[in-house]
Amino acid sequence: MEEIHVAPGMASVFESRSQMRNARMADGNVSFTRLAGVNESGVYRFLTLLTNDLSSVDTWRQQIVAMPPAASRSNPNSTTIQRIDRSIHRTRPELSYIPSEPRMQPGEAGAFRTITLFVGDTEGASAQVADLLQQMKSLEESRNQRDSRSVSSAVIASDIRRFDITFFAQDLPSLFTNRDERGELLGEELQDLVGQISRLCRHIEFSTFTIRRDLAYQPSN
C-alpha cells in the first residue's frame, strides 16, 4: 500500500502523471491490479493486490523496474509529492466479515472508510485484538449484518502492530448511514467489543476515501 501526500494545488498534475504511469504499466505488462482512492485532505491511497506468497513482492518490483521509462529523465514528482508512506499488509479473512446477502456488490462501491488500530505494546495485545475481531464477526453473522468488513494486518510497515478495518459503501454519505444502521443493529454488544479493542490500542485513526477508478490499474491478462 502506498499513501501519497500531494503538495497543495498539485492534484491535477499528480493525477495526470499517475495516468501516464498506468499507461507505462500496461506497456510493460505489469500483472498486478492497483486500486486507487483519495481522501478530503488530498492523500492518495494506492493498493497493489499481491498473492499470499511474499515472493510476489519481488515479482512486482521486477515488473515495475522493467516497465518503459518515463519520457522525462528528471524526477517529475520532485515538486508534486510531499511524502510517500509504504507498507505491506496481509488480508485476514478469519477476522473479516462477508455477509451472505450483502447490501451491494464489490463493483458498486464508490467510497471506503478505514479504521486503523495501532495496538499497544502489552504482551499478547495483538492476539487479544484478533480474538475480539473474531467475536465481532460472530456477532455480525448472528444478526445477519449486511455490510462487508475487511481486515488486514501489517507485515512490513513503520509500525507493524497494526490492523486495518475497512468498510465499503456506494458513496461517502452512505458510509456514515450504514455505520449508524450497523450500530443500531448490533447494539450494546458491539459497543462492548469496540470498547475492549480501544483499551488495547495506543492510537486509532479514521480515514475516508473516494474510490478513483480513473487512477486505478487493471492488467489485461
Give the three-state DSSP class for 167: strand
For residue 206, the model assigns a pLDDT of 95
Sheet of 201-211, strands arranged across? 81-86, 2-6, 43-48, 34-39, 201-211, 111-119, 162-169, 149-156, 88-91
Digit-by-digit pLDDT tens for the chain (221 residues) are: 999 999 999 999 999 999 999 999 999 999 999 999 999 899 999 999 998 778 899 999 999 999 998 876 555 556 899 999 999 999 999 999 999 889 898 789 999 999 999 999 888 999 999 999 999 999 999 999 999 999 999 888 777 789 999 999 999 999 999 999 999 999 999 999 999 999 999 999 999 999 999 999 999 86
For residue 72, the model assigns a pLDDT of 66
Residue with cell 485476514: 92
**How far out from the chain centre does Cα 171 lie?**
16
**How far out from the chain centre does Cα 202 lie?**
20
Cell numbers of 180, please? 449508524
**How far out from the chain centre does Cα 29 lie?**
24
